[in-house]
């Protein structure tokens, strides 16, 4: 199955994709994570992406497509994938259709995570992760049970993304409305779009998403 989580920065795509991955044995494919790994590794794709990401703009389609294609070939993606942060432009959506057609697949479900702009800036600007295991936290919404110690791995080292400040978050939101939001109508026209109220708390959004994914997976 091929599922897409569509939504602006801070909507909770990453948070929810990781939970769906565990619940359904799917693989989360985040182009943001893949790009950040490319930047850290200093690959050509990473060099091309670094400044664009720091400014909160979209990385060129060909760069994103190349790294996604590579990852989609891996065997662990056979049962199904949750695309998180991809596609983000009309060109990427068309390229995805072409890519899936090669293996007799198609987009099964697109879930639009509906939120309001204002609170999204706060969600993004307060976010940090455990440097050891990648567990996500938030200054206001999700603190570790014991201050300064990761709930999952016990690590004490945390990091913040360079684009997670109020100014860059605003630019990312602008890019979302201009280039990505039109995909909602595109997938609605194809009859695969569903909507989830992503202003609700994390557990409520999780339950709403899992009910929909269950239907798609047929289990
Ligand atoms: P990317 O990494 O995709 O970032 P994004 O889309 O801006 O999304 P975020 O990761 O910020 O938010 P999220 O929806 O995953 O929310 P999260 O679950 O973390 O992209 C980064 C950059 O890479 C882009 O700007 C672009 O330059 C480039 N890029 C990536 N893909 C690209 C593509 N396809 N094409 C071109 N360029 C591309 O949640 C946020 C916070 O809120 C967390 O702290 C979480 O704990 C909290 N939270 C989550 N849900 C809730 C809730 N229900 N209530 C309260 N708090 C919540
Ligand atoms: Zn950890």
> Active site includes 159?
no
pLDDT in tens, 134-178: 898 998 888 999 999 999 999 999 999 999 988 999 999 999 999
* Sheet of strand 2-6: strand arrangement: 27-30, 81-84, 2-6, 109-114, 193-197
Residue-level pLDDT at 219: 59
Work out which ligand 1 atom sits closest to the CA atom of 176: 6
Task: List b or e across 169-206, with b for residues whose CB sees 16 or more CB atoms inside 10 angstroms.
Answer: bbebbebbeebbeebbeebeeeebbbebebeeeeeebb
- ipTM of this complex prediction, to 2 decimal places: 0.96
* Ligand 1 pocket, CB under 6 A: 7, 9-15, 31-32, 35, 52-53, 56-59, 64, 85-86, 88, 92, 123-124, 127, 136, 138, 141-142, 172, 198, 201-202, 205
Average pLDDT, the chain: 95
Q: For a substitution probing ligand 1, which of 28, 33, 35 has the most ligand atoms within 8 Å of its CB?
A: 35
- pTM of the entire structure? 0.93
Torsion sign across C-alpha atoms 143, 141, 181, 215: positive
Active site annotation includes 88: yes
Q: Tell me the CA–centroid distance for residue 97 and ligand 2, in Å.
A: 36
> What tens digit of pLDDT does each residue of 103-133 get?
899 999 999 999 999 999 999 998 999 999 9
Q: Which of 4, 10, 202 to mutate to test the pocket of ligand 1 (most atoms within 8 A of CB)?
A: 10
What is the per-residue pLDDT for 198? Answer: 97
Q: Tokens at residue 171, please?
A: 């630019």
């Amino acid at each position: 199955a091929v599922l897409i989580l569509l939504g602006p920065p801070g909507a909770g795509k990453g948070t929810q994709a990781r939970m769906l991955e565990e619940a359904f044995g799917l693989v989360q494919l985040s182009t943001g994570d893949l790009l950040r790994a490319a930047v850290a590794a200093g690959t050509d794709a990473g060099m091309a992406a670094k400044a664009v990401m720091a400014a909160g703009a979209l990385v060129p389609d060909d760069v994103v497509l190349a790294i996604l294609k590579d990852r989609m070939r891996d065997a662990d993606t056979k049962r199904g994938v949750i695309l998180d942060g991809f596609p983000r432009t009309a060109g990427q959506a068309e390229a995805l259709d072409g890519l899936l057609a090669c293996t007799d697949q198609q987009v099964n479900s697109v879930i639009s995570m509906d939120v309001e702009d204002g609170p999204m800036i706060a969600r993004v600007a307060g976010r940090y992760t455990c440097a050891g295991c990648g567990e996500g936290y938030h200054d206001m919404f999700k603190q570790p049970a014991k201050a300064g110690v990761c709930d999952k791995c016990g690590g004490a080292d945390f990091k913040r993304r360079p684009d997670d400040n109020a100014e860059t978050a605003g630019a990312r939101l602008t890019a979302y409305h201009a280039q990505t939001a039109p995909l909602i109508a595109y997938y609605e026209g194809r009859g695969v779009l569903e909507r989830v109220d992503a202003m609700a708390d994390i557990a409520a959004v999780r339950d709403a998403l899992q009910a929909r994914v269950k239907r798609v997976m047929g289990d």
